[in-house]
Structure 1
Amino acid sequence: MKKLLCVLWISRFLLFLVLLFGCNRIPVTEVPSMPLIHLEFDNKISNEGVLPVTFRGDENVSFSNDGVSNYSLDLTSAAKFRKPVVVVKGDGQSFNDYPGLSIFFWVKAHPGDPYEYTIISQLADDELAPQGWLFGKTTSGSYRWMLTDGLNEAVYEPTSIRQPVANDEWHLLGYTLDFARKEARVYYNGENVAVFCLQNFNLDIFKGDIYIGGHPFSTNPIRDAFHGLIDEFTIWSRVLTPEQIKTLCGDERHLTRRRREARPDSLTIMTWNIWNGGRADGLFAGPQRVAEIIQESGADIISLQEAFDSGEMIADILGFYYYQRSPGLSILSRYPFGRTYNVYRPRHSGAVVVNLPRDNQIVMVPVALSYLPNLGPYIMSGHARADSVIIREMQSRGSEIRFIMWEMQSIQNSYSDYPIILAGDFNSGSHLDWTEANRENRFGLVIEHPVSKTIEDAGFIDAFRYIYPNEVKNPGFTWSPRYKEVMQDRINFIYYKGPGFNASWSRVIDQFEPGFPSDHAAVVVSFKWDDQ
């Protein structure tokens, strides 16, 4: 009897352990345990990583007991010693020997400091221009990330409204760099807030020493030293996964976003050339108007052309993720980005997967074809010939779109079960508008525009013309709401293909009170899945 009771008690105890540590336990994603460089700043300057490094400025250093876990590097006004700490990795240690890098650190800054600083930098003075990267604090109280090869530069400067660092709280900043894909991803508090294409970059840029709390080219390192606290600076020799980066940060610090558990009932796409960053009517007022128009449209994903320095600001106002293929070509999204693809030239096109809830995806292809030749004056002269227009189109935009569609073939094969959307400024009319039925309104011309014809031949549908098939009644002009004297035409398009996915409504936005901020109209299309 005693033996039976003992077996029962053991069985119950084992069942308790299974329930406690098995079914009810959420698995934790582990971060790789052997980084190249790891500085904890726990009352000493030493590398806990595997890369042999030396230091400069590691004597007479101030530490604060206000750290992420214990102590931190103190560069505040309370510190006795305010100076950068320099990590010297040596000429024989090349970061480019690894498949990728993940560079992260914690930072805390005072909200009352109006100055900009370099927080951490690795820059080498090349013969032509500096090469490397840096994180800095901006005058607004947010941060700035920059990466340059001396010729090309990627810059991300969000707003303090959504991504502050100067608010007396700890924040995790960092980025990952995939050498094979030539892609950088910027993270704030565990969230991948921005993705940058680096296709044209020479990424052999990690030659300089790493300055913790300063800039290598400063003429007065103590005066220019960062004002704040820095902790747990780490470099891994690989691209950490999003799950690993969230583990670094902790769940409580993630950006607040409206999450949808199920696939959305509809998906609204916009394409808009916002004209030199949307700043024609004001450095901030213009982008603010752009953001208001996007917000009122209900767009979930926006293909932006000519965003330039305004892209990250508009994304922050909306609370959206930001993808930059080139300074003039980007995407804003309510949903996070997945894999990116280098399609043709960065200034003309790219591709990025957008991850929708419940493992659903779509592929966004932003497009911006050449604006030359400008055939409007020639067509309006009354002496134009359709074959001449086609020949000149094929010399630029027609050729560009053929390269784009050719390079997209592998993407279409890989994502044949998902919607693919081309959206952008094509700077060319459509053969669906320049028809025999519409000859009277199109300067007496019928033109088989090669750009739109090539896209249609690849199986894509013109979303606006799908909703409004009558080109006479619904011209849908997008060029130009601001300049009525130019040739009015529809040159901004949203094309789509994919099983069970169709346009449900569309509209052109070309008015806004007190003033429309662009010379191009915005095109908005809402899509639905057939099973909903």
Structure 2
Amino acid sequence: MLNKNRINLKKLWLFIGFISCCLIVFNCKNKRIIKLKVLQFNIWQEGTVVKNGFDAVVDEIIRTDADLISFSEVRNYNGVDFSKHIIEALKDKGHTYYAQPSQDTGLLSKYPIIEQTALYPVKNDHGSITKAIINVLGVEVAFYSGHLDYLNCALYLPRGYDGSTWKKLDSIVTNVEIIHKNNLESMRDEAIDTFIADAENEIKQGRLVIYGGDNNEPSHLDWIEANKHLYDHNGVVINWRNTAKIEKHGFKDAYREIFPNPVSHPGFTYPADNPLVPINKLAWSPEADDRDRIDFIFYNPDERLKLIDAKILGPKGDVSKNKRVLQPTEDIFIEPLNVWPTDHKAVLASFALKF
């Protein structure tokens, strides 16, 4: 009887050991998945246009708990290095981030930056792309920040405005060939082609690729048959060059992956209704509805990276025809704190990163 009890006890301990090992393996697997938040943030001249705007940028980064942030409109005003300024401001509030000097576009990371380069340097304010290789707990991420050429902004043509002078045209332009031609007179396509070529090389090296940018150009996924008579598209259905090319090379638009319908979820990022700013500073085409989605997060599909969700950070309201409007949509918003620092809305995407 005693031997039988010993055998049963031994079996019990073996069973407990087996269960413990399973739990350890399960926990180890869980520890190998983290949430990675990516924020695309046009900060409107470093937040200087809005009173207390810079502090608001800092507060929104802390509030979203973003891991990787791509900035548009980094100017380093008065010889002050914006990267150093933002790191110190975050540190003063108990948050550690990494950044390196840049111009026009900038990158901020909770994780160490291995190296950073001006992939497409700004020249005569025709846009830029900054790239950093970031070590996220042993996984290397090629993270890109884009702020593309704002001139020849062809999205204004169907709305009856010139896309470089923003003067009202004699008539709207709905000829797709003319719109494409004007669009290609910008330097946005050169910047995107540079990004794609570089990103494909990074993918070959086994790195994850994420891009955040204010592209100053809409998406081909947004100007479709279903909304051709909305938002002053005036019947135009157009395959906007740069998002179409990014998609052709395998990259995914985070917002449209989660919300594929641009009618129910237009995802407008510009122009945002900022209640602290006079309407005349927000409306570039005062007689038109120029609401559009021009701020994006793109990523290269990889088994290590799974998109979880995407949201708009910023006010629900927009600006249309020189008025503050509230479009009834199904978009999911994270509404601002007391001060919103910019005329854009930001995009926040969350990923599960597997090690």
Tell me, yes or no, if structure 1 residue 497 matches structure 2 residue 267: no
Instruction: Provide the residue aligned with 2:159 in structure 1.
Output: 380
Equivalent AA in structure 1 for residue 147 of structure 2: A
- d(CA) in 2 for partners of 1:265 and 1:406? 29
Instruction: Provide the residue aligned with 2:130 in structure 1.
Output: 350
Alignment of 1:54-69 (within 5 A): none
Instruction: Provide the residue aligned with 2:342 in structure 1.
Output: 518
Alignment of 1:233-272 (within 5 A): 265-272=34-41
- d(CA) in 1 for partners of 2:110 and 2:159? 41
Instruction: Provide the residue aligned with 2:196 in structure 1.
Output: 405
Shift of 1:353: 1.1
Q: Calculate the TM-score normalised by the size of structure 2.
A: 0.69
Instruction: Provide the residue aligned with 1:259 in structure 2.
Output: none
Alignment of 1:392-471 (within 5 A): 392-396=182-186, 397-415=188-206, 418-441=207-230, 442-471=233-262
- d(CA) in 2 for partners of 1:528 and 1:351? 22
Residue segments in structure 1 that go unaligned for 5+ positions in a row: 1-261
Aligned identity (percent) is 28
More strand by share: 1
Tell me, yes or no, if structure 1 residue 277 matches structure 2 residue 46: yes
Contact 1:263/1:356 (8 A) holds in 2:
no
Question: RMSD of aligned C-alpha atoms?
Answer: 2.2
Instruction: Provide the residue aligned with 2:100 in structure 1.
Output: 323
Contact 1:478/1:491 (8 A) holds in 2:
yes
- d(CA) in 2 for partners of 1:342 and 1:298? 26
When Rg is computed on C-alpha atoms for both structures, the one with the higher figure is 1
Shift of 1:374: 2.8
The higher relative CO (CA closer than 8 Å, separation ≥ 6) is in 2
Superposed CA deviations along residues 202-259 of structure 1, whole A, max 9, x for unmatched, are: xxxxxxxxxxxxxxxxxxxxxxxxxxxxxxxxxxxxxxxxxxxxxxxxxxxxxxxxxx
Shift of 1:513: 4.2
Equivalent AA in structure 1 for residue 314 of structure 2: D
Equivalent AA in structure 1 for residue 45 of structure 2: N
Instruction: Provide the residue aligned with 1:290 in structure 2.
Output: 57
Contact 1:272/1:523 (8 A) holds in 2:
yes
Alignment of 1:62-101 (within 5 A): none
Equivalent AA in structure 2 for residue 294 of structure 1: I
Superposed CA deviations along residues 463-487 of structure 1, whole A, max 9, x for unmatched, are: 0000101111000011110436461
Contact 2:218/2:294 (8 A) holds in 1:
yes
- d(CA) in 1 for partners of 2:150 and 2:249? 23
Tell me, yes or no, if structure 1 residue 300 matches structure 2 residue 67: yes
Change (3 A) 1:313 1:344: closer
Shift of 1:342: 4.7
Shift of 1:289: 0.6
2:50 is paired with a residue of what secondary structure? Answer: coil
2:229 is paired with a residue of what secondary structure? Answer: helix
Instruction: Provide the residue aligned with 1:488 in structure 2.
Output: 291
Contact 2:202/2:208 (8 A) holds in 1:
no
Counting matched residue pairs gives: 265
Contact 1:477/1:489 (8 A) holds in 2:
yes
Equivalent AA in structure 2 for residue 420 of structure 1: V
- State which of 279, 294, 313 in structure 2 corresponds to 1:509: 313
Change (3 A) 1:343 1:452: same
Change (3 A) 1:399 1:392: farther
Contact 1:277/1:311 (8 A) holds in 2:
no
Shift of 1:509: 1.4
Shift of 1:341: 4.4
Instruction: Provide the residue aligned with 2:168 in structure 1.
Output: none
Superposed CA deviations along residues 381-429 of structure 1, whole A, max 9, x for unmatched, are: 24332221212222222233123322433223223xx320011111100
Change (3 A) 1:361 1:509: same
1:299 is paired with a residue of what secondary structure? Answer: coil
Shift of 1:445: 1.0
Contact 1:437/1:472 (8 A) holds in 2:
yes
Instruction: Provide the residue aligned with 2:145 in structure 1.
Output: 366
Equivalent AA in structure 2 for residue 385 of structure 1: N
- d(CA) in 1 for partners of 2:254 and 2:298? 6
More helix by share: 2
Equivalent AA in structure 1 for residue 116 of structure 2: T
Change (3 A) 1:508 1:502: same
Alignment of 1:197-208 (within 5 A): none
- State which of 89, 109, 115 in structure 2 corresponds to 1:333: 109
Shift of 1:462: 0.2
Superposed CA deviations along residues 158-191 of structure 1, whole A, max 9, x for unmatched, are: xxxxxxxxxxxxxxxxxxxxxxxxxxxxxxxxxx
